[in-house]
Chains A and B, each alone.
Chain A
């Protein structure tokens, strides 16, 4: 018996031993720490392997970029010092600035950057488009990158300076040579913070340490561009999935910054002492209603147009967001507030009407077959969009079957191209951050590449593909704007998708946090905590 009792004790002790080994290093008392509740858990460290926004934000802390978008969405040099374009617009030469070093101390070279661009170009949509027109990409010397094009291309800087996933982050050549479909084995960048791998607890905590050797640009921070000055010694991401708990932790001063509290908690946070709530993303997020163009009834443009006519952005936003402070109504497919924002083609959608939509639907061949709307119930805003759509489509005379599921299931279901009776779907909702829809090449939903190349929903419109291609190759900004207008006109009138409104997710922080950067992407340089 004594022996058995000992075994039980040994079992308990065996479970407790890892605890002793896991005593994590703690920050020194004098260190300045910015404690952040991020919008998601960091599960992947490779921002090229995944498009997850949290991995992108991680990338911005650790890595640096050749170019970057400033707060006016203009491309500015970041790691690049100077660059030139030949008169025939076919040869681009980029010279790296001084003082760039990897976190392991090795200097950043042009070869590293060439390899990084190639890996990014194998995965990213804009990168793939750019690689298609590149004849050669080489390192002329340790600091000079030479890009030769097959034909003039209007989005060279916009591509390598793109702000959102996948961002062309620079990594050492040995890391860049990793198969783009496998995760890089290390996290060595040249950015303003270093990733503290020993302190990473997936699902709980991520720690970044100030890169003392980082040489920032001399310009003030502006968007993703300008001087990236690390003003705190540590940035700690404390992942709190429960929104109520996250809010309470901020109110209680246990964290300094809450990246995206749900708008319905904003009134409580605003009323809390020492807490500031504001919108930090000038572009916001655009809600999307995507129809499946492959199968009836939405393979008929007239039915799609009827659906678009029924979309009243105010109704969607009131249902999903509620507080008018956090949404706006705007018909543009390009992010509202971005340089290409336009009303082109919006006659169909600018005055929504259930009656007119019902009339338009009656004139189609829709036979009353129920349509399947897939609803991600674990994402509150998309779930609300789905309920509004179901109600409005029923109001115009459609039969709607709402199928509830979690987002993970939806992401695999939406890839099914089969008809409804074989597991397909008719409508789903998602949203795009403003930084991802600033031009027709970035705005994947506008594409018309058909069943092989288009985004889920698979619109088939060769003409719009041709127009997008022309936009990418156009080097004159004025002509690009004209093309962008024409593309939007065509996309809306073909019912490419529905824009259900723009919403803004606020940030909340203790009033001792200073130096926030206005941007569609969350950055942590320039941020300071006054203790």
Chain B
């Protein structure tokens, strides 16, 4: 197992290298110039040139890429063009809200979706199954921002139960954190609940047709034991896979949710940076997202060995 993990960790290096090159080239080849944005409306062409020079944007693309890789090799993601702050500091400032939102969303989604999927499979073909599947399709279909605004309208503006926006760290005030994170979590969870419910249902239905399930039932075991101990455990691999994929989807999902609920996380940081062409932030964040994605895949692979002892690396 250790050799497998080490091999997978080493494999991340070329993956990140390709990502770094791709992101760098895409940014340099796309239109927009941070120097023009900084210089503003009154700047003369020579002012803009001086700013470009000062930012190192006049160097050739290979030279710029080489400099960036050199700083990366020293564990430095660079300095933000606009804020003049280290990208690592900006990311560190933003990582907690995104991490917390992602964690609460995943936990909430799994707690709701897995039981729903099992019930749908157990009652396959009945009105209960159909109702759950209709809700799942609706969950897939409703845009995150629409649901967010509806929840804000109902629970913040009408009932005044929860705040519209903002974020408080659980390490500062857990009650405030809970109030702030509830609506974003529910909003972002809906699509994952729909996704995981459908996969759980399909996996459990497939397992319920296996011989060992019939055997378990023939032995007189209760449906609860059959479902939870035999069916769900054996259906776990695809469910874990889809939860892992869900983390990747979360990276995209948090961008919108963080905007709607004004959560100062990584999603908003990357959007702001793209709009301003703050190259070091965009490059750094995409590398971090890629790293997280690779790590999540690794964690999922490790979890496979727990839920299915037959899997060995």
Give the interface of A toward B (CB within 8 A). 1, 3-5, 7-8, 11, 15-16, 18-24, 26, 41, 43-45, 49-52, 123-125, 165-166, 179, 181-183, 201-205, 238, 240-242, 244-246, 248-249, 251-252, 254, 378, 405-409, 411-413, 415, 430, 444, 453, 455
Contact = CB atoms under 8 A, between A and B. Distances in A.
B259 A242 contact: yes
Nearest to A412: B33
Given A23-B171, A241-B259, A248-B152, A125 B83 contact: no
Contact of A50 (B38, B80, B153, B164): B38
B264 to A, nearest CB: 3
B236 to A, nearest CB: 16
A431 to B, nearest CB: 10
B32 A412 contact: yes
A49 to B, nearest CB: 7
B269 interface: yes
Interface string B254-273: 00000111101000110010
B54 A43 contact: no
Contact of B31 (A240, A248, A413): A413
A22 B95 CA distance: 10
Interface in B264-313: 264, 268-269, 272, 275-278, 295, 299, 302, 305-306
Given A201-B94, A411-B37, 19 more contacts: A4-B1, A5-B306, A8-B302, A16-B96, A22-B96, A43-B82, A43-B276, A45-B84, A202-B83, A204-B93, A245-B152, A245-B262, A248-B153, A248-B157, A406-B32, A406-B275, A411-B33, A412-B32, A455-B42
B44 interface: yes
A249 B275 contact: no
Contacts of B277: 408
B15 interface: no
Contacts of B278: 43
Nearest to B298: A8
A245 B260 contact: yes
Nearest to B100: A19
Contact of A3 (B2, B39, B157, B163): B2
A18 B96 contact: yes
A1 B47 CA distance: 60
Given A51-B43, A201-B93, A412 B31 contact: yes
A26 B172 contact: yes
Interface string B185-226: 000000000000000000000000000000000000000000
A203 B90 CA distance: 10
Interface of B: 1-2, 5, 31-33, 36-45, 47-48, 50-51, 54, 80, 82-85, 90, 92-96, 99-100, 149, 152-153, 156-157, 160, 163-166, 169, 171-172, 259-262, 264, 268-269, 272, 275-278, 295, 299, 302, 305-306
Q: Which 6 A-B pairs have the closest CB atoms?
A: A51-B40, A204-B264, A19-B96, A412-B33, A43-B82, A409-B31
Contacts of A50: 38-40
A18 B5 CA distance: 25
B215 to A, nearest CB: 28
B268 A203 contact: yes
A241 B262 CA distance: 8
A43 B264 contact: no
A444 B41 contact: yes
Contacts of A430: 41
B47 A205 contact: no
B39 A51 contact: yes
Contacts of A245: 152, 164-165, 259-262
Nearest to A241: B259
Contact of B262 (A18, A21, A201, A249): A249
8 contacts: A7-B5, A11-B299, A19-B171, A23-B172, A44-B38, A51-B39, A241-B268, A444-B41
A201 B268 CA distance: 12
Nearest to B46: A452
A311 to B, nearest CB: 21
A62 B260 CA distance: 31
B31 A123 contact: no
B275 A252 contact: no
Contacts of B94: 201, 203-204
Nearest to B2: A3
A244 B149 contact: yes
A408 B32 contact: yes
Contacts of A204: 93-94, 264, 268
Contact of A408 (B1, B165, B276): B276
B38 A408 contact: no
Nearest to A165: B40
Q: Which of A11, A41, A248 has the most CB of B within 10 A?
A: A248
